[in-house]
A = this chain, B = another copy of it.
């Protein structure tokens, strides 16, 4: 157990002995700025051999990495079998882009998205703290994932949502038995969360303050496991890891995981973290060398899982600490095209936010910021089947046939350019 029970501010370095501070660092906080707190570990130095890592953290589930997670107790984890996701080489796109390209396929989690990394830790932490339940502000993936883990744990789960956004995702959140309540605005959702946390001791999963700090900082450490898995899966770590960001929980968590591997002596260098946004508040601050992330203008992005005009400090920190890159997009065309390309060239159907990694990659390559032959991992965060409405909006109608072979042949030829030799 390397967890100290302490939290440290990423910006001012202030330490706190607390397990219930969810609104960022009070010391350096002001009206326009909130820095993140993150759990502190006292890590051992090692001989740096991969076999030492394998011995220290044997197995492939969450339990394998317990010592690197923010738990004081030794209670067996409630687990849906999160993690251990496939790393797959994307040969055709890699060849086309002239890079060595892989995806970490986070759709292979229990609820088919990377939020399971967060919730696997969150639920167990809520139980360790004997919280009466967990509470989310969510309209989709995170709420559903949390509801699933809460169901497995038998822990009450409240999700403050906005109804009518996406019927599939509503059903997805509801089926696990969570207590969903619809309110009108994000501000309303956050107000209820704050009250339930402060007054009733419910354990919060998601952000509920402005300036925004992102998700529960203990739970964010669940994303570190992605780094540990990549270290196990790859002989040589990638030059760049491309992550779609909203509040940047995964971007920061992955960077933190690598940073710990470095501290323990297993790696010499943290791979460069690359953030992709639709609107780009973090890119604007990072590329402009600012500490304060101002909101930017939106343009109606289809990538609802990542879409925000706000940014968080831990995103900026992850980029700085890894000497990373930040890129933003300019419209839905490139996102949809990336989704189509990933499916049609690599057999990977991911949600729009995940596909934006490819769109961002294309931009960075064309700007010369990612060079020929570099090794790149994109994080595919969630399955495309959770939200097919955007996809179907740009697909053509399916042609109908009377099933006579001349008609079939002519459809194959005209619509699909398949010439059948008969």
Contact = CB atoms under 8 A, between A and B. Distances in A.
Interface of A: 79-81, 84, 86-88, 92, 105, 107-112, 132-133, 144, 147-152, 154, 156, 158, 161, 163, 167-168, 170-172, 174-177, 179-185, 188-189, 191-192, 195-196, 199-200, 339-340, 343-349, 383-386, 388, 391-392, 395, 398-403, 405, 408, 411-412, 415-416, 418, 420-422
A183 B407 CA distance: 11
> Which of A177, A181, A196, A339 has most B Cβ within 10 Å?
A181
Contacts of A421: 132, 200
A402 to B, nearest CB: 7
B400 A111 contact: no
Contacts of A345: 151
A415 B178 CA distance: 11
B182 A401 contact: yes
Given A86-B84, A196-B420, A349-B111, A343 B385 contact: no
B403 A184 contact: yes
Count of chain copies: 2
7 contacts: A111-B349, A148-B348, A149-B347, A175-B344, A179-B416, A179-B418, A183-B402
A382 to B, nearest CB: 10
A183 B400 contact: yes
Contacts of A339: 175
Contacts of A170: 392, 398
A181 B388 contact: no
Contact of A401 (B176, B181, B343, B400): B181
B191 A403 contact: yes
B80 A88 contact: yes
A175 B92 contact: no
Given A172-B385, A179-B412, A200 B422 contact: yes
Nearest to A396: B174
A132 B401 CA distance: 22
A170 B226 CA distance: 32
B171 A391 contact: yes
Nearest to A83: B86
A171 B185 CA distance: 31
Contact of A175 (B81, B87, B172, B384): B384
Contacts of A180: 398-399
Contacts of A383: 112, 383, 385
A401 B84 contact: no
Contact of A176 (B151, B185, B343, B399): B343
B401 A151 contact: no
A179 B415 contact: yes
Contacts of A348: 80, 110, 148
A4 to B, nearest CB: 31
A132 B416 CA distance: 14
B177 A343 contact: yes
A172 B385 CA distance: 7
Contacts of A108: 81, 108-110
Contacts of A420: 132, 196, 200
A201 to B, nearest CB: 9
Closest 7 CB pairs of A and B: A81-B86, A152-B347, A188-B403, A177-B344, A148-B347, A179-B416, A171-B388
A159 to B, nearest CB: 9
Contacts of A87: 81
Given A147-B347, A177-B344, A182-B399, 8 more contacts: A84-B84, A148-B348, A152-B347, A176-B343, A181-B408, A185-B403, A192-B405, A196-B420
Contacts of A385: 112, 168, 172, 383, 385-386
A399 B383 CA distance: 28
B154 A92 contact: yes
A161 B399 CA distance: 10
Given A168-B388, A176-B349, A347-B151, A401 B183 contact: yes
